[in-house]
Amino acid sequence: MNFNRRIDNRVGVAVLVVALVAGGGYIGLKQLRSGGQADAEVKAQEPEIAECKKRLQTFYDAWKQYRADHKNQDPPSVESLIPKYIKDPSLLVCPTAERWQKQKMMFAEGSLTIGGKQYPESYGFKWLSAGYPKFVKKYGDKVALVECDVHKHALYVATYRRKPKPDAFDSDKTGQLLTAVRDSPTLAVRRSGTVEPLGVDEQR
């Protein structure tokens, strides 16, 4: 009787080990597949990030020239920069967002109407936000003027096949993300004209 019980116990343990190994294998394959999707998206974004930086520089130049023409007053809207300062409204969408739009995925902050035609925009024009003067007073020319978080969001979607929740990139949640997703940049051009990724504490 004891002998049979020992056999039953061994069989139970064996079944449990097989189940755990199978489950671990599934999780491993899932992580491997996610990693491959992330790598592919990172590769696709490389030339797009380079072009996005050029667009951010274009927005800075437009903002700076407008201020020079209007006694150092900030542009009251994005529309006020077009077409004199920004010639082509299609530049208002990040190249990565353009690629994803072809797959019916939108990464747009909003849209604007110029000459009766509607144009999407994916960049965050921070100087137009209500609290912006407070940040300028506190941080000066280090403050981000225009931001782009499309690359980070697109990489999340490519990796996990779903849109990120609003708190997905909060500091207490990023430890659960793949390294490539966690380290994906939020690009910005600062009031100084510097185009660079924002630090974690600057992404708000």
Could you report the per-residue pLDDT of 179-195, keeping only the tens digit for each?
889 889 899 999 999 99
Residue 96 pLDDT > 50: yes
pTM score, whole prediction: 0.80
Model confidence at 141, pLDDT cuts 50, 70, 90, reads: very high
Burial of 41 (0-12, 13-18, 19+ CB in 10 A): buried
Give the pLDDT score at 36: 85
Give the separation between CA 157 and CA 138, rounded to whole angstroms.
Answer: 35
Model confidence at 142, pLDDT cuts 50, 70, 90, reads: very high
Kindly list the distances between the CA atom of residue 98 and the CA atoms of 39, 48, 62, 107, in Å, as whole numbers in the listed order: 19, 10, 22, 9
**Average pLDDT of span 31-60:** 89
Percent of the chain scoring above 90 in pLDDT: 58
**Average pLDDT of span 86-114:** 87
